[in-house]
Amino acid sequence: MEVTLAFIIFIISYVFIISEKINRALVACLGGAAMLFAGIFSMDTAFMQYIDWHTIALLLSMMILVSITSQSGVFEYVAVHVARQVDGKPIPLLVFISLLTAIGSALLNNVTTVLLVVPIVLTLTKILKVNAVPFLLSIILASNIGGTATLIGDPPNLMIGQAVEHLTFNDFLIHLGPVVAIIFIVVMAGLVYYYRKALTVSAENRRKLIEVDPKSYLKDKVLIVKSLSVLAITTVGFILQPLLNVDLTSIAMGGALLLMLLTYEKQDVEEVFKSVEWVTLFFFVGLFMLVGGLKEVGLIDEIAKSIIFYTDGDLPKTALLILWASGIISGFVDNIPFVAAMIPVILEFQSYGMTNLDPLWWALALGACLGGNATLIGASSNVIVAGLAVKAKHSFSYMEFLKVGAPVALVSFIISTIYIYFRYLIFFY
């Protein structure tokens, strides 16, 4: 009876999350509460075993860091400066904005990065009087690709990193960075070719942009120095984490608290906390409870057994199945709940004789993060950009995104398959 109840609660919650008719954080928390009322697990069990507070705290810390830094205007300065460097030419600007988004997504996270970059791009395209849609679609694709490269770049990676203790920030960068760089170059080449005739700007409009002074966007030079210094220290801390022997959450929290302390006179603490994306954090809380219900009743264990049975316990087959399955599924549902469900499945493989699970983690990360590019609802950053585009009256349809996103996802999967096979799996034959 408990198995049936847990499954029904999870499916109903999942359907509403996908439909987005009701706020997904509310749906996830209601689903988690339903698990409690159904007696699937107790409150103590949910809070002590299933809700990953490390992930919640890490996300909260990064949100605070970026929120305070954004008040300085430094992000707008960089964007306008880049636009001037390419003389307002749309194709080079598309490439540079995408590169900026990819790097920002890797070092901050893709959701935060698109929230910062999209308003800037809308301003630049308005000055140039050029179609903003190609830039918006490129931002989505670049954010998901760039976010794949690091532990903090995309929520699925963050969840994997917190679940697997021996995987560090450097591990993600070393193992996923090379393939992400290749995919980014290939995708950008494709986008440039696809939009080569659509993006044209008059000399007059380019001149207007060049006349804009980037320094006019800088609001507080002292805040710039403080925020960028703390961000740099925090990033270095992530890189040196194995030597420091301090977990990532502590490093991120330390950076956030330090920046709040350094800026509290001008950045009101209450205002900083108001700027935090609490909806995202509560979505994670509810999601952890939903997946915890499946684990509590043994459904996760059964899924693991099924995959092992299908692949005969063969690591290469399992890795490639996870890559493509996670990629395809993440294209049609948000990758966060899918990864939350898959993490305990992969962990369960150890009890069935698989000792080296690292190739499976890289396959899951690549599939889930890159699969988010396939459709408009594949990742959180996609939905956020689409919402901002509607408000700015530069909306694009599901099918319009699909024409670009689906081929990009397919090419990304093919490149990832070749990469994973020759770097990790060829030795098993």
Residue 20 pLDDT class (50, 70, 90 cuts)? low
Give the pLDDT mean for 108-128.
Answer: 81
**Range name among 173-182, 328-337, 338-347, 396-405 with the lowest pLDDT average:** 328-337
Residue bearing the bigger pLDDT, 33 or 301: 33
Please tell me the distance from the alpha carbon of residue 242 to that of residue 7, in angstroms, as a whole number. Answer: 39
pTM for the model stands at: 0.77
Mention every residue, 6+ apart, whose C-beta is less than 8 A from residue 304. 345, 346, 348, 349, 352
**Range name among 189-193, 328-332, 409-413, 421-425 with the lowest pLDDT average:** 328-332
Give the pLDDT mean for 40-60.
Answer: 85
Please tell me the distance from the alpha carbon of residue 158 to that of residue 112, in angstroms, as a whole number. Answer: 14
**Hey, what are 73's tokens?**
């205007």
pLDDT at 406 over 90: yes
Q: How far is CA 15 from CA 215, 362, 424, in A?
A: 47, 27, 36
Please tell me the distance from the alpha carbon of residue 5 to that of residue 135, in angstroms, as a whole number. Answer: 45
- Inter-helix orientation angle 53-70/278-296, to 10°: 170
Alpha helices per DSSP H over 108-168? 110-128, 133-147, 155-163
Percent of the chain exceeding pLDDT 70 equals: 98
pLDDT in tens, 242-266: 778 788 788 889 999 999 999 988 8
pLDDT at 314 over 90: no
| pLDDT of 199 | 82
Unique residue bearing structure tokens 């499954």: 7
Please tell me the distance from the alpha carbon of residue 60 to that of residue 53, in angstroms, as a whole number. Answer: 10
- The residue type of 232 is A
Please state the domain extents for the chain: 2-428
Unique residue bearing structure tokens 């540079």: 96
Quick count: other Cβ atoms within 10 Å of Cβ 66?
23
What's phi and psi for 282, nearest 5 deg?
A: -70, -30
pLDDT in tens, 271-293: 888 888 788 788 888 888 888 88
